[in-house]
Amino acid sequence: MKIGVFDSGVGGITVLSELRRRFPGLEYVYLGDTAHVPYGPKSPAQIERLSRDCARVLRGKGVEALVVACNTASSLALPAIREEMGAVPVFGVVQPGAQAALDAWSDGSPVLVLATRATVNSQAYGQSIRGGNASVTVIEQACPLLVPMIEEGWIDHPILHQTIREYVESHARAHSAGVALLGCTHYPWIQDAIQKALPGWKVINSAQAIAELLGKQGVVDRADRGRGKVEWIFTDPAAVPAFAKKWVQE
């Protein structure tokens, strides 16, 4: 079985890694739109158009299911992507991420969603989490500088640590504990740095959640013998940061 995985850049590799770990017998096509990353500051219409283009490429590759491994595209372009993919099932990361936050949540503490500006503006996470439990306090924090830094390869740079602190410090001061949901698939690359800035908080990500969901829903045929092979497509291959190349060369 061939699964398509799509992201604006190298963030979806965190989802792909989870999928390969859980379903090592499948075959994958990864599409990173590195020519147009970041999606987060773009308008909903631009995000929809770019997502459609990516979906068309993956449909042309004959994928039998598509994982939209980008929270921004999942928040703003799922109906458009489904339209492009026809009968091919399409799975976004927002619903499973929201469910994972609810599962990790304990009474009284807030859920802090860290995401791109477009994802936060769409309110997809807030609606999804509150739809599951209306009593949960959801704080949505846009972190627009993080994706460009990660794509630049600054995953352990002092500026990255300082920037994370700027985004989360007030929340860490206001609440000694809570659930921090990484609502952007780039952020698991810097999960340790985020955890350091939010001591006492449970930091979770939607990458694990979507892989779990596919398993539970019986979408994947585990008997397949694709050997975890990945076809890598980047719309600008020269823009792939060095830390991610290690995965791409495997």
CB 183 within 8 A of CB 113: yes
120 touching ligand DGL, by CB under 6 A:
no
Q: Tokens standing for 115?
A: 């995401």
Q: Is 70 a catalytic residue?
A: yes
Task: Give the whole-angstrom CA distance, residue 184 versus residue 14.
Answer: 10
3 state SS of 32: strand
Q: How many residues does the chain have?
A: 250
CB 126 within 8 A of CB 140: yes
Catalytic residue, candidates 29, 65, 67, 70? 70
Q: Which residue has the tokens 């604006």?
A: 8
Among 5, 70, 98, 100, binds ligand DGL (CB under 6 A): 70
Pick the piece of the chain touching ligand DGL (CB under 6 A) from 6-14, 52-60, 221-229, 232-240.
6-14
Residue with smaller CB distance to ligand DGL, 37 or 136: 37
Q: Is 184 a catalytic residue?
A: yes
Among 34, 72, 109, 235, binds ligand DGL (CB under 6 A): 72
Q: Which of residues 199-238 bind ligand DGL (CB under 6 A)?
A: none
Show the 3-state SS of 40-74: CCCCHHHHHHHHHHHHHHHHHCCCCEEEECCHHHH
Pick the piece of the chain touching ligand DGL (CB under 6 A) from 31-39, 155-163, 209-217, 232-240.
31-39
Task: Give the shortest CB-115-to-ligand DGL separation in angstroms.
Answer: 6
Lay out the site mask for ligand DGL across 147-186 (x = CB under 6 A, - = otherwise): x------------------------------------xxx
3 state SS of 237: helix
3 state SS of 248: helix
Residue with smaller CB distance to ligand DGL, 1 or 13: 13
> Across the strands, what pairs with 31?
6, 233
Q: Which residues are catalytic?
A: 70, 184
Binding site for ligand DGL (CB under 6 A): 7-9, 11, 37-40, 70-72, 116, 119, 147, 184-186
